[in-house]
């Protein structure tokens, strides 16, 4: 591994980047004025840019290959999964011998072996294991994830990272996603454009069947599987947590669902359908992953080099009937809980009580707030309702704010009069 | 690398640094502090510092379930409001839309959940089930059948079950409000 990174400079044989250099050697009619045609931009792309790829699965494999081939040389990749045999049809960096090994590690080794001079640093684990300092080192982040929860976390982390005093803290996030023949690629400039959380209401909700249908009138194999997982599992297994990655658990659900299906003369309950329903799997299509990954990497290349205008800001692809795509600007939401809302810097005496702070907020003409509830990232400070929580937090009213919030700390304020929330950053005099 | 920062400067210069409180946590705080509950519903937090796990007691003041106190547990995960809260009845009750394990058939808890709904909508929805049980969406089939076939018998069963009586071999919990 170390010999490859050391040999970076002498692996750039003549003509290696012949085609890419066509784009980087000279400005075009619509390139950004800041574009440093020639060696400047090439040096940045090949020797300075540090890019993070989240996910080394269907999208991740494509993304890693594309980035390496377009000239990014310092790539990091995070993935918490190990390779399953069912991944091999489309996750082309993995072979049969790799089954059971961490995706991030195997993908990194494959790319480094295949594309000389590229350094890929894997991390086998969760994105949540890493702190702000870790994310701060990158210029760009590309997500190829299959989970809403992980995307929300990554998005919120990058939005929170933005420090008004430090331009380097703003990390463009390129998010790719696919579902069967549909996909999307988007560019998020944290705090500037709409963020992932802004568009949460656009998500299709996972298919869910009315619980009474599952309980009484099953007609589809899916109904039987849902019956096994939603109703029978908690009834029979009690508090035992269902692990959808545990073959024994899937096996149990499968046999319970199959018995139910037999009783109602329903056909089609299989092991793989059981797994698909409980893990909410939508069949992955290799070509959709390839298109979306290409779009994401194209954006990464344009943002890193300023060689062309980047996507503003949402590209969607619908390949279910023919090929249809549409690009539009998704708008930022003022009431977005992550990037919207107001922020206020407050400076007051370390002797001010919580009650005093509340009075101060209510009296502020510019924010028009009534009955504010306050909390810090660690705990509730004062909640106006429900009665029990009001009572539990009431003793805090007499306390000094400085006992509950450190200097420079943050307080989240909610009130029915606010679109969503207000965050306070507190400095004591 | 594009010069995003110059765009940032053109923006409203207000510092928009946000606290590390998660979006789910802020949303739950907002939902809870803005609950608008009638006197027939009351929340209870076993640990007042934990806003994500609590119970709701409904004491209907009209309808056939009047006089009972029905308790539901709420468990909210960090993916709220993308995921709905998990709600279960903690007692064994005789109700067409609640099974003996405490599962509740309420559309907005499952197939019709949307992030624009909130905890207040769920709580009002639960209370509605006690005012207007729905025999068309049964979870307790016996109760639903009785309700549509023989309403008087159903009403008697409801009364008996609320006192902790047996109906068709099932012992129900005494839920009479004290």
Note the pLDDT tens digit of each residue in A329-358: 999 988 788 888 777 888 999 999 999 999
Chain B contact for A379 (CB, 8 A cutoff): yes
For A203, the token pair is 């998500």
CA distance A20 to A17: 5
pLDDT at residue A2 is higher than 60: no
* Both structure tokens of A116: 């000389």
CB contact under 8 A, B19 and A412: yes
In chain A, what percentage of residues exceed pLDDT 70? Answer: 97
Tell me which residue range forms the domain holding B121. 21-171
d(CA A93, CA A108): 9
Question: How far does the CA of residue A380 sit from the closest CA of chain B (Å)?
Answer: 7
**CB contacts, 8 Å: A338 with chain B:** 18, 23
A12: pLDDT confidence band, cut at 50, 70 and 90? confident
Helix (H) or strand (E) holding A188: strand A182-188
pLDDT in the model for residue A343: 76
Q: How far is B173 from chain A (nearest CA, A)?
A: 18
Answer whether B32 sits within 8 Å of A383, measured CB to CB.
yes
Q: With beta carbons less than 8 A apart as the criterion, state whether A136 and A169 touch.
A: yes
Check if A32 contacts B (Cβ < 8 Å).
Answer: yes
B10 to chain A: closest CA residue: A192
Contact (CB, 8 A) for A425 and A345: yes
In whole angstroms, what is the distance from residue A299 CA to residue A316 CA?
A: 14
How many structural domains comprise chain B?
1
Residue B107 distance to chain A (closest CA, Å): 7
- Region(s) of chain A under CATH 1.10.10.520: 211-278
Question: What's the pLDDT band for A325 if we cut at 50, 70, 90?
Answer: very high
| DSSP three-state, residue A422 | strand
pLDDT at position B7 is 62
The predicted pLDDT at position A203 comes to 80
Indicate the Cα dihedral angle A41, A47, A49, A53, nearest 10°. 130
Chosen for mutation from B5, B23, B46, B134 (greatest number of chain A CBs closer than 10 Å) is B23
- Is B6 part of a structural domain of the chain? no
Highest mean pLDDT among A412-416, A424-428, B87-91 belongs to B87-91
The predicted-structure confidence for A119-171, as pLDDT tens digits, reads as follows 999 999 999 999 999 999 999 999 999 888 899 999 999 998 988 888 889 99
B7 belongs to a structural domain = no
Which DSSP string do the residues of chain B spell out, in sequence order?
---HHHHHHHS--------S--HHHHHHHHHHHT----TTEEEE-SSTT-TTEEEEEE--SSSTTTTB-EEEEEE--TTTTTSPPEEEESS---BTTB-TT--B--GGGTTT--TT--HHHHHHHHHHHHHS--TTS-SSHHHHHHHHH-HHHHHHHHHHHHBT-EETTEEPPB-B--
The mean pLDDT of A288-314, rounded to a whole number, is 95
Positions in chain B whose pLDDT score sits under 70: 2-20
Q: Once rounded to an integer, what is the mean pLDDT over residues A397-421?
A: 88
Q: Is A388 within 8 Å of chain B by CB?
A: yes
CB contact under 8 A, A337 and B26: yes
Asked if the C-beta of A343 comes within 8 angstroms of chain B's C-beta atoms, the answer is yes
Sign of the CA dihedral running A309, A310, A316, A318: positive
Rounded-to-integer distance, Cα A326 and Cα A311, Å: 12
Determine the Cα–Cα distance for residues A364 and A40; give it in Å rounded to an integer.
Answer: 50
Of chain A residues 277-336, which have a CB less than 8 A from chain B? 303-306, 310
Token digits for B109?
């808890």
* Residue A312: strand, helix, or coil: coil
pLDDT of residue A32: 82
CATH number of the domain enclosing B166:
3.10.110.10
CATH of A342-428 among 3.40.1350.10, 3.30.1370.100, 3.30.420.40, 3.10.290.20: 3.10.290.20
The Cα B137–Cα B133 span in angstroms is 9
Encode pLDDT of A85-129 as tens digits: 989 999 999 999 999 999 999 999 999 999 999 999 999 999 999
Annotated catalytic residues of A are 212
Question: B15 in a domain, yes or no?
Answer: no
Q: What pLDDT sits at residue A262?
A: 95
- pLDDT, residue A423, reads 85
**Nearest neighbour of B23 by CB, restricted to A156, A216, A345:** A156
* Cβ contacts from A onto B, under 8 A: 180
Domain spanning A2-203+284-328, CATH architecture: 3-Layer(aba) Sandwich (3.40)
Question: Quick one: DSSP state of residue A96?
Answer: G
Task: Give the residue from B9, B114, B106, B73 showing the smallest Cα distance to A201.
Answer: B114
Residue B26 and residue A420: Cβ atoms within 8 Å? Answer: yes
Mean of pLDDT over chain B = 89
* A353 beta partners: A400
Residue A406 pLDDT more than 80?
Answer: yes
Q: What is the rounded CA–CA span in Å between residue A65 and residue A75? A: 11
Rounded to 5 degrees, what angle do the CA atoms A190, A195, A200 make?
A: 160
Quick one: pLDDT at residue B18?
A: 45
Q: Where in chain A is the domain with CATH 3.40.50.720?
A: 2-203+284-328
Q: Phi and psi at residue B162, in whole multiples of 5°? A: -65, -25
Q: A309: part of which helix (H) or strand (E)?
A: none
| Chain A stretch 196-255, residues whose beta carbon is closer than 8 A to a beta carbon of chain B | 197, 200-201, 203, 205, 208-212, 215-216, 230-231, 234-235
What are the start and end residues of each CATH 3.10.290.20 domain in chain A? 342-428
What length is written for chain A?
Answer: 429
Mean pLDDT value of segment A200-213? 81
Contact B18 A152 (CB under 8 A): no
The stretches of A264-285 forming alpha helices (DSSP H) are 271-278
- Which contiguous run of DSSP H or E holds residue A227? none
Arithmetic mean of pLDDT, A388-407: 93
pLDDT value for A8: 47
Q: Checking DSSP bridges between strand A140-144 and strand A173-179, what pairing results, if any?
A: parallel
Residue B90 included in any domain: yes
Mutate one of A201, A202, A227, A389 to test the B interface: name it (highest B CB count within 10 A).
Answer: A389
Nearest to B58 by CA among B8, B127, B6: B127
The pLDDT value recorded for residue A10 is 56
Residue B148 in any domain: the answer is yes
Alpha-carbon distances, residue A5 vs A63, A115, A121, A124, B56 (angstroms): 20, 11, 11, 20, 60
The confidence score (pLDDT) of residue A1 equals: 39
At A410, the pLDDT band (50, 70, 90 cuts) reads confident
Distance from CA of A410 to the nearest CA of B (A): 5
ipTM above threshold 0.90: no
Q: Give A163 to chain B, closest Cα distance, Å.
A: 7
Residues of B marked active site are found at 105
Domain A211-278 fold is: Arc Repressor Mutant, subunit A (1.10.10)
Whether the bond between A386 and the residue before it is cis, its omega within 30 degrees of 0, is: yes
- Asked if the Cβ–Cβ distance from A410 to B34 is below 8 Å, we say no
Please, are residues A141 and A175 in contact by the beta-carbon 8 Å criterion? no
DSSP A208: -
d(CA A117, nearest CA chain B) in Å: 21
Residue of A nearest to B43 (CA): A386
**Of A97, A98, A101, A106, residue with least CA distance to A82:** A101
pLDDT at position A390 over 70: yes
Q: Mutation test of the interface with chain A: which of B15, B27, B54, B115, choosing the one with the most A Cβ atoms within 10 A?
A: B15
How many angstroms separate the CA atoms of B127 and B132, rounded? 9
Whether pLDDT at A199 is above 60? yes
Quick check: is B161 in a domain? yes
The pLDDT-based confidence of A210 (bands split at 50, 70, 90) is confident
Question: What is the dihedral angle through the alpha carbons of B154, B159, B163, B168, rounded to the nearest 10 degrees?
Answer: -10
Within-domain flag for B177: no
């Amino acid at each position: 591994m170390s010999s490859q990174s050391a040999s970076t400079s002498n692996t750039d044989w003549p003509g290696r980047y012949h085609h890419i250099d066509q784009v980087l050697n000279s400005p075009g009619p619509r390139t950004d004025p800041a574009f440093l045609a020639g060696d400047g931009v090439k040096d940045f792309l090949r020797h300075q840019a540090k890019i993070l790829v989240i996910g080394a699965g269907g999208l991740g494999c494509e993304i890693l290959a594309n980035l390496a081939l377009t000239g990014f040389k310092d790539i990091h990749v995070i993935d918490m999964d190990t390779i399953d045999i069912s991944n091999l049809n489309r996750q082309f960096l993995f072979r049969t011998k790799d089954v059971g090994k961490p995706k991030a590690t195997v993908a990194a080794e494959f790319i480094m072996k295949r594309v000389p001079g590229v350094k890929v640093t894997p991390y086998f684990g969760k994105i949540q294991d890493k702190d702000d300092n870790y994310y701060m080192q990158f210029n760009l982040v590309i997500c190829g994830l299959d989970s809403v929860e992980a995307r929300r976390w990554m998005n919120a982390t990058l939005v929170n990272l933005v420090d008004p005093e430090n331009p380097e803290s703003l990390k463009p996030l390129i998010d790719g996603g696919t579902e069967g023949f549909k996909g999307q690629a988007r560019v998020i400039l944290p705090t500037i454009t709409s963020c992932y959380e802004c568009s949460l209401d656009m998500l299709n909700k996972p298919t869910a069947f009315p619980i009474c249908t599952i309980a009484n009138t099953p007609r589809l194999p899916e109904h039987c599987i849902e019956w096994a997982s939603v109703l029978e599992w908690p009834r029979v297994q009690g508090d035992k947590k269902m692990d959808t990655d545990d073959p024994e658990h899937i096996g149990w659900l499968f046999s319970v669902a199959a018995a139910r299906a037999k009783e109602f003369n329903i056909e089609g309950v299989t092991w793989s359908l059981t797994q698909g329903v409980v893990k909410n799997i939508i069949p992955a299509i290799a070509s959709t992953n390839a298109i979306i990954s290409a779009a994401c990497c194209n954006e990464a290349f344009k943002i890193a080099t300023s060689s062309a205008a980047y996507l503003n800001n949402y590209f969607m692809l619908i390949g279910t009937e023919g090929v249809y795509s549409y690009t539009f600007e998704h708008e930022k939401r003022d009431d977005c809980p992550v990037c919207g809302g107001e922020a206020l810097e407050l400076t007051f005496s370390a002797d001010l009580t919580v009650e005093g702070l509340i009075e101060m907020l209510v009296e502020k003409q510019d924010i028009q707030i009534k009955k504010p509830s306050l909390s810090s990232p660690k705990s509730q400070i004062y909640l106006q309702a429900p009665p029990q929580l009001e009572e539990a937090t009431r003793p805090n009213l007499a306390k000094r704010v400085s006992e509950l919030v450190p200097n420079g700390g943050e307080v989240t304020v909610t009130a029915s009069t606010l679109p969503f929330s207000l965050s306070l950053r507190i400095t004591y005099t | 690398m594009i010069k995003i920062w110059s765009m940032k400067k053109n923006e409203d210069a207000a510092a928009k640094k946000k606290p590390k409180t998660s979006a789910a946590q802020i949303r739950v705080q907002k939902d809870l502090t803005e609950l608008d509950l009638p006197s027939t519903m009351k929340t209870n937090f076993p640990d007042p510092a934990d806003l994500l796990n609590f119970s709701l007691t409904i004491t209907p003041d009209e309808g056939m379930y009047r006089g009972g106190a029905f308790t539901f547990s709420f468990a909210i995960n960090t993916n709220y409001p993308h995921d709905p809260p998990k709600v279960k009845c903690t007692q064994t009750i005789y109700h067409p839309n609640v099974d003996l394990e405490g599962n509740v058939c309420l559309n907005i808890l499952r197939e019709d959940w949307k992030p624009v709904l909130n905890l207040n909508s769920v709580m009002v929805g639960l209370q509605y089930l006690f005012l207007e049980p729905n025999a068309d969406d049964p979870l307790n089939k016996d109760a639903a059948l009785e309700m549509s076939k023989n309403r008087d018998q159903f009403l008697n069963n409801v009364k008996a079950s609320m006192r902790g009586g047996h109906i068709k071999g099932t012992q129900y919990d005494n839920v009479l409000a004290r």
